[in-house]
Amino acid sequence: LRSTLNAIRAELGQVAFDKMLDALPPSDFRDAALAGRVLAASWYPIRVNRDLYAAIAKVAPNERNIPRRISARSAEDDMRGIYSYIARLLSAETLAGIAPRILSTYFRGPVVTTEHVEPRAATIHFAGFRGFDNDLWDGTLCGCETIMRMAGHKNVQSERKSLSRLEHALVRFTWTV
């Protein structure tokens, strides 16, 4: 979540960022964020992401596409350095095949399975994403799209079909080279 906080600050500016932190509900995460002690290796419940988006909506109600903007910037931050170099060496099909491993660094508990990979398309099943809402799905899928773009793939798009409420989804990714 540290890269997410950095992305929020960059998107909203420092003043709105500070107001957003103040608008968060009382929690260990809020205390850590206010003190600047959110660690990259720390795990926080999904609720924290929902709280962040809700707080942003309170302090910056006219901002549009916030989940996508924040996730794109955060993914770019996460993929700097050696990771971006490695990603450029991999085909989109290979990236889709290892998506479960990549996503497991962001989420504990949910299961991600690559169902089908073909030239310029992949279908990935996301299961057990309890607490997800449309903002979290938009952000997560935008992060996946951003990583594929950073790997050099063009026109990356995702289409989500929710299965059984919002905690399960089948997502089809497409791209060009």
pLDDT score recorded for residue 142:
93
Residue with tokens 């929690």: 27
Give the span between the Cα atoms of 113 and 130, in whole angstroms: 16
Which residues on adjacent β-strands are paired with residue 135?
A: none
User: Could you give phi then psi for residue 26, rounded to 5 degrees?
Assistant: -55, 130
pLDDT score recorded for residue 37:
92
CA angle 143, 167, 117 (to 5 degrees): 55
Looking at residue 164, the DSSP 8-state letter turns out to be T
pLDDT score recorded for residue 28:
92
pLDDT score recorded for residue 63:
84
> pTM of the predicted model, to two decimals?
0.86
pLDDT score recorded for residue 52:
95
Low-confidence stretches of the chain (pLDDT < 50) are: none
Residue environment code for 13-45, b if the CB has 16+ CB neighbours within 10 A, otherwise e? eeebbeebbebbeeeebbebbeeeebeeeeebe
